[in-house]
Structure 1
Amino acid sequence: MEIIEVSPRDGLQNEAVLVSTEDKITLIERSIAAGLRRIEATSFVHPKRVPQMADAEAVMAGVPRRADVSYIGLVLNRRGFDRAIAAGVDEVNCVVVASETFSQRNQGMSVADSVRTVRDLADDARAAGVALSVTIATAFGCPFEGEVPEATVVDLARQVGEFGVDEIALADTIGVGVPTQVARLVAGVGAVAPGVRLRCHFHNTRNTGYANAVAALDAGVTVLDASTGGIGGCPFAPAATGNIATEDLVYLLDRSGVESGVDLRQLIETADWLSGVLGSTVPGQLARAGVFPG
């Protein structure tokens, strides 16, 4: 299982504390030291909308450059894409929301417009030599519209898959999904985008995040997003709480005999360090409970 570390972006974007650029870079360095090799480093969005990400260029200027580490920048539009390329990201992650209301709240455009944005950026990403992934947000439910038809999610995956994207991520933005949904959506997306790598992004808002991770694993998914300490959420989704914690996920995988290549004890140390940076205890359980056996 490959784990994408999202704490520097999705983790920090919903925190009340404005974390310094230096601490963000330290978080990334700690993640690399623990064995994580794909890291969502920042997002290139308007600083007035997400002030926690206002230093995107400075973060990218300070991260260690290694051939075995890939940095992902999240973008919502052409302006963000151009900034990400100029800053030297290795991968660009675009967002397509599966519900109209949240699409307008999150990125100020319709679902159809966001699909067109992906289409317009696909060739430019290839020309720039960067990988292009698409996250389908609210794939398991919307905070404003409620249930999201699975057929809608599958059709969006079909559309973006036809643009030649490298990866599609199914995101449970507000943590409402359950394992049966995971199995159905993974199967549905796999059928319409068979040549595209599939990953999943879960939140543990209702204590289903880790069960969903196991369901994704059982369904054949080999890439999962996670956030050290379990921090994160979406500033445009009411009551959206943290991502699944990287250290808790690695414990689950290790005890299940699934290789991740990530050092669990270093993750726990980083989660403890992150609590100090944020001034509050992170939601992840392992930093408090410890590993087993000890």
Structure 2
Amino acid sequence: MVDRAVLNIWYVNIDNPASILETEPKADRGYGRKFLAQLNPLFPVTPIGQFPLNRSAQADDHEFYIGGYPGITVVQTVIHSEDDKPLLLEELNPRLRQAVPAVDVYACAFDEKEGWAGFAHWHRGELKRVFSGTRFELMEDTGLPLAFENPYWAGEKAEQLGGIALPFTPRDLMEEAQRNWMGVRIDSEGPDLQVVGYAVDGRPEPKVDTAPPPKSVKQLTSDAAFKLGLGPSNADYDDYESPEDEPTTATSETLQHALETTTSFARKATSQAGSFLRNATDKARDFISKKRRD
């Protein structure tokens, strides 16, 4: 028995949904929050990201992926059967089905594990067509088959298994229904449909990585020069200039110059220290000699 499925529900108020979806419309966080507040004011809503519906992992329990576009709203979530009954699209929760006032409402759902899939269409609140089942069990089939269904029922779209098996894979027919109604593919080959994801189970909002961006070669060179005592703050190197963004060879030359300058400075300091020690030693010897003569 199928008791859980991923659902795409479309609320449509325009005659040509493809004219909007082909433009790859963006999502609005505020719209999604309003949708959930109307669906259940007690939901503890947590945004969990923004991404293309057709290029992301499917929504999980207690998650809603919502996209509100001109004349169209799409929501992906997970639905469950109630009271140990089979999952039927005809009995889709009216609160969810009527969450957005729409001329046409389309529901497309599937359970990959059980091989179950189905679709339904309501026009001005009236059920026009519903189908659901597995390859070996037909669960719903109300309303006249639509034109896009004909090749599937004729066995032209799948290998025939014989016996009581349906002449097609239910999920293939469900995807064809969604593609026919929306006018575009709802997969990785179709236009990007941006949605905002929300969780309603009280989980905390994902942490955003606030680590500082990596430093550029220019900044690393400048920092190294400062630590070595070079640059404008050092009177011996008033002509030092910060390197501009140049090719790698120029940056290497700058580093080489800094190293050579630092080495020269170290040699000079060592030489001066040696002279100081020699002078001190000579003075000590003169003092000792004078004392002995006295």
TM-score of the pair, normalised by structure 2: 0.27
Q: Which has the larger radius of gyration?
A: 2
With a CA cutoff of 8 Å and minimum separation of 6, indicate the structure with the bigger relative contact order: 2
